[in-house]
Amino acid sequence: MNILSIETSCDETSVAVLKCSGGFKNPRFKVLSNIVLSQIEIHKSFGGVVPNLARREHQKNLVLILTQALKKSGLLKSKIKNQKSKILIKNKKLLNKILIRESELFEKILEFLEKYEKPKIDLIAVTRGPGLEPALWVGVNFARALSKVWQITVLGVNHLEGHIFSVFLKENRENIKYKVLNSKQITNNKFQILNKIKNQKIKFPSLALIVSGGHTELVLMEDWIKYKIIGSTLDDAAGEAFDKSARILGLVYPGGPEISREAEKWKLQILNSKSKINLKSKFLNSKQIQNLEQEIKLPRPMINIKNFNFSFSGLKTAILYLVNDLKKSGKWSKELIPQVAYEFQEAVIDVLILKSLKATEKYNVKTFVLCGGVSANKELRLRFKEKIQEKFGKKINFLMPELKFSGDNAAIIGSAAYSNYLNLKLKRKLSKISFFFKANGNLNF
Ligand code: KG4
Ligand code: ZN
């Protein structure tokens, strides 16, 4: 089946088309298109996402992104000229009612519907929460409008579920140009590809760590679509901590990638100080590194507490004090940013991994899923994989999304919609899908 999905929960306007197959227990997806328009440049000067600006931008761009997504997937068909119908008055009235708060979107959607035919889509999926409510409503009303005119079912999807299902998505391999490899590389490469496919299967119980800008959740899954939260953040989410700490260090929004880049610089310094090859001017020697390490230490919040909850706001405050103290004693300089970023990243990674490993052990987990925007962090990915393998070996299947699908995009919403739709179908509850579902900024499992 073909699913058209829409994501507008935060500052990405995205529409995707997925070809889904394989059924409930072996979902397979071909990403026909996944267009993502980021609003980062617009929100950057405010140091974070401004909900009403996000809402305005979604309204402005959704029809354009929809057109591109349908075009790329080969499903966009213009109406024949002399059949270019004026959209029925009845439909126009309905659309006006649905998009009463999105007048700009109403005009654009009318133009689109007059120009193009109904595409070969079996289901429309849209994020209904969690996220910024004004932004969510634009996507929900847009999806509803399309659903009414095209007479296609619309399903509201939990954004967090989308992050979990992101691990099943593969970039369309047809679009990747292959290099010529020698025979040894081919064997290795084949092995890697096979390994990847084999690893995509999820076994239950499974545990997902969702780390994003708004969430840090450890979610236990006893079966498909059966979720139980066993740990959450008590204050800031991991991504939020990255963003806020970056701001203290004078880095731009979003702070995650910035901190990660700065931390990488310091890691390089450490590696170089340890290697005997290059100790010249640019790099510090191991004594200098040791001295700095003693001074720049951050806490690992709640690491020894028995439950699986997290807390990251103290870490941000600790950075603030650290920088202020260094400034007062005249020791602060921009050169220290990579090191503070590194220590901050280490603190977050240490806590996330330790708690995840403990929970994995306690619940006899067979598949571990690392997902959400922060899962794009290179060091976090590396260390998680290493630690899980070290502790559980082949007993555990470790899954994480391809980088392209780790942040917010509509393809992840489509993938979660497929399993939810099949679940309702199996239980003969398709008729219960309500057209009138609401956007909910605080939606949880
Ligand atoms: O999942 P996501 O795209 O949006 C939400 O659902 O919140 O996550 C966005 C978060 C931001 O806080 C961003 O700073 C963080 O993910 N992020 C990263 C990295 N890339 C994005 N955090 C750490 N390292 C990264 N490389
Ligand atoms: Zn997200």
Cα-Cα-Cα-Cα torsion 210, 312, 384, 257, nearest 10 degrees, comes to 80
Q: How many angstroms separate the alpha carbon of residue 373 from the centre of ligand 1?
A: 4
Q: How many angstroms separate the alpha carbon of residue 130 from the centre of ligand 2?
A: 9
Q: What is the pLDDT of residues 327-367, one digit of tens each?
A: 999 889 999 999 999 999 999 999 999 999 999 999 999 99
**Residue 177 has what pLDDT?**
43
pLDDT > 90: percent of the chain: 80
Give the pair of three-digit tokens for residue 197.
């496919």
**Residue 295 has what pLDDT?**
74
Mean pLDDT in residue range 170-181: 56
Q: What is the pLDDT of residues 220-253, one digit of tens each?
A: 999 999 999 999 999 999 999 999 999 999 999 9
Q: What is the pLDDT of residues 3-47, one digit of tens each?
A: 999 999 999 999 999 999 999 889 999 999 999 999 999 999 998
Range name among 161-175, 188-202, 207-221, 263-277 with the lowest pLDDT average: 188-202
The one-letter amino acid code at 75 reads: L
Cα-Cα-Cα-Cα torsion 278, 279, 284, 286, nearest 10 degrees, comes to 100
**Residue 173 has what pLDDT?**
62
- The residue to mutate among 212, 244, 267, 408, having the most atoms of ligand 1 within 8 angstroms of its beta carbon, is 212
Does any ligand 1 atom lie closer than 6 A to the CB of residue 7? no
Position with higher pLDDT, 199 vs 119: 119
Does any ligand 1 atom lie closer than 6 A to the CB of residue 162? no
Nearest in space to 225 (alpha carbons), one of 195, 248, 191, 202: 202
Position with higher pLDDT, 58 vs 86: 58
User: Which residue do the tokens 């998680």 mark?
Assistant: 384
Give the pair of three-digit tokens for residue 216.
């840090």
The pLDDT confidence band at residue 323, using thresholds 50, 70 and 90, is very high
Q: How many angstroms separate the alpha carbon of residue 159 from the centre of ligand 2?
A: 6
**Residue 90 has what pLDDT?**
78
Of all atoms in ligand 1, which is nearest to the CA of residue 246?
Answer: 14
The pLDDT confidence band at residue 82, using thresholds 50, 70 and 90, is low
**Residue 280 has what pLDDT?**
52
Strands 216-223 and 206-211: antiparallel
The pLDDT confidence band at residue 277, using thresholds 50, 70 and 90, is low
Judge whether residue 135 has pLDDT over 50.
yes
Judge whether residue 100 has pLDDT over 80.
yes
Average of per-residue pLDDT values in the chain: 90
The ligand with the least distance to the CA atom of 238 is 1
Position with higher pLDDT, 269 vs 313: 313
Mean pLDDT in residue range 50-56: 96
Go through the chain and tell me how many residues it has. Answer: 445
**Residue 391 has what pLDDT?**
97
Strand partners, 20: 29
Judge whether residue 190 has pLDDT over 50.
no
| pTM of the shown model | 0.91
Judge whether residue 84 has pLDDT over 80.
no
- Dist CA 52 CA 381 (whole Å): 34
- Dist CA 382 CA 371 (whole Å): 13
